[in-house]
Structure 1
């Protein structure tokens, strides 16, 4: 074998594949890229959740308060015989949502949050943790709400709340922690709708988490699934 053939053979052997060190470096770089993408998605989602909390939920709470300050009654109450209940002008008070809510605000000259768009100020579109679109909406209603009694137990009384629908579990927990400083579906000013009137003395977690797929009763969430949603109640000052 001549020298040229020996050199050619060695060259092919050197270029035959990666060494273990090179493979390790490649795997580390891939891991860092995947981790950075995941962290980036989490940061972006948290930024959107913060926007929902500050520019949507809290802004609607302020709009509700502005309505009370300007008119002297809560939304939908009777001006001649106030009941201090949302939709109190009706014999059977219900939710005030969408066009009805806009009508009251417009009639009183109260500015509404930007929301999804003009005419849809009550709605906010966001992406769940699987990247699927969700739309949360706000209404106002007088509902049963548990409060402490003189005997150290809890009793249900009616209170005015903002009803926030179509919250993914992680968004509901985020808003709960923003309002109350901790996550608790049973106590505080932000509660899960199904637990707001509960008179139990024990703290409770939100019913579901992001493992639950929309329309399913078990934790069968897949990567392409739309996340299941819950409804939250946010207690109003008046």
Structure 2
């Protein structure tokens, strides 16, 4: 017969709780597993940012430079009467003035954004969007026989799909435009990159300029205020005006919708200008 304890229960059936050491070990293992998942996400995100730079942005800059080498003008400019401006074909010379042709300041109807389609509605990824050009980015490249970077898909080479830090889908769009003197995001011909999360913008800024400064160097944040007297214009150390906890789904609270945020929300998107060499 089985031995029974004084209380009548079987000694083999007696239950024993976890010791403090066992609980500590289990908690440590769980912590290591969660830490490994977090580190893994960061590594994957860093790899994605590197791909965006090497497989998308740099090839687009190379395509822009190749267009200039093949045609002698920047994209959208007139070969017979160059203005030195992106979309210069639509620029109108001020015949009533005393200026000479070929100087950007002597033209009007300038600075239109040269894209493939409208893309995002105006000012939804930061303020300051320019009017759209009547020219088409794809048609201009096709006309001179330049194959564009693969991008998102055939016919959408100017787009790149990725996920923000909360796992929500986001999309980059490439355009080009000419900025007049005094533009905070940089004067001259620029690549317009719409749909950047703030941490992606900082990463690309650091790759291109060596430091993530929103209003200095060749990679800057688009700004609706073109006043050269703005305090941030000549003072280094301006941060990108957003962070990854903010959502841009609630435009009633502020420009970036800081009233709606959380780990499940979409991360706010910003627009950057990369100053081109030509």
Whether these two folds match at TM > 0.5 is: yes
Aligned to 1:97: 115
Aligned to 2:235: 202
Distance change in 2, residues 1:26/1:145 (3 Å)? farther
Aligned to 1:124: 160
Q: What is the CA deviation profile of residues 8-41 of structure 1, one whole-angstrom value per residue up to 9, with x for unaligned ones?
A: 655444x432111111111111111111001111
TM-score calculated relative to the size of structure 2? 0.77
Deviating more after overlay: 223-232 vs 209-218: 209-218
| Higher-helix-fraction structure | 1
CA distance in 2, matches of 1:85, 1:214: 32
CA distance in 2, matches of 1:214, 1:57: 24
Aligned to 1:49: 49
Structure 1 stretches (4+) deviating beyond 6 angstroms?
none
| Higher-strand-fraction structure | 1
Aligned to 1:17: 17
- Contact 1:63 1:110 survives alignment (8 Å): yes
CA distance in 2, matches of 1:44, 1:26: 27
Q: Which runs of 5+ in 2 are unaligned?
A: 92-108, 118-135, 251-256
Q: Kindly report which structure 2 residues correspond to 1:133-144, keeping only aligned pairs within 5 A, or say none.
A: 133-144=169-180
Q: What is the CA deviation profile of residues 31-81 of structure 1, one whole-angstrom value per residue up to 9, with x for unaligned ones?
A: 111110011111101111110011101110000000000000001001111
CA distance in 1, matches of 2:219, 2:12: 69
CA drift at 1:222: 1.2
TM-score calculated relative to the size of structure 1? 0.89
What is the count of residue pairs matched by the alignment? Answer: 229
Q: Counterpart of 2:203 in 1: which secondary structure? A: helix
Q: Counterpart of 1:164 in 2: which secondary structure? A: strand
Of residues 238, 246, 267, the one that matches 1:212 is 246
CA drift at 1:201: 2.0
Q: Kindly report which structure 2 residues correspond to 1:31-70, keeping only aligned pairs within 5 A, or say none.
A: 31-70=31-70
CA distance in 1, matches of 2:3, 2:227: 87
Of residues 168, 186, 192, the one that matches 2:221 is 192
